[in-house]
Amino acid sequence: MKPSRIMLLEAGSGIEMFDEFACPYRLVTPEHESAVRYFVGTSGDGTHLVSTEIPEKFRRAMVAHEACCFELRNTGHCTEAVDFELNFVSSIDRAEYLQLRKQFFDGLVTFYEGRSGVDQKFFHGIKQCRDHLHALA
């Protein structure tokens, strides 16, 4: 069996617990999504992916965002996920975290803008996140 590209770029794994809910994630090298800095997302099998370039102190918050999006999937879930993830960022680190997340969502919107075949619900959601993060900072 040939390993997937993600497996080839995997740099480790972890798990975050939110109450009784376990969220496993894989650390992947930035080459996985080099067009977007500070990549975080969910693979087809539901495993969360986190770039190794994301500081360890922010990984829990980003996994919380992905878990919230993956579980809710309702209208407005993207901005709810941003608000939820901020519960896991200290007030001391908030400005740095918001800057990193704005960079990620700005890059993600630019990456998908104008591409054919993009799920419009997904694209609308990432634009909502970007706009919400800019309003917070």
The pLDDT confidence band at residue 68, using thresholds 50, 70 and 90, is confident
pTM: 0.83
> In angstroms, what is the C-alpha Rg of the chain?
14
Q: Domain residues for 60?
A: 5-136
- The mean pLDDT of 5-23, rounded to a whole number, is 70
Question: Helix or strand or coil: residue 47?
Answer: coil
Q: Which helix (H) or strand (E) holds 25?
A: strand 21-28
What is the tally of structural domains in the chain?
Answer: 1
C-beta neighbour count of 53 within 10 angstroms: 13
The pLDDT confidence band at residue 132, using thresholds 50, 70 and 90, is very high
CA distances to 24, 32, 50, 128 from 43, in Å? 11, 12, 10, 21
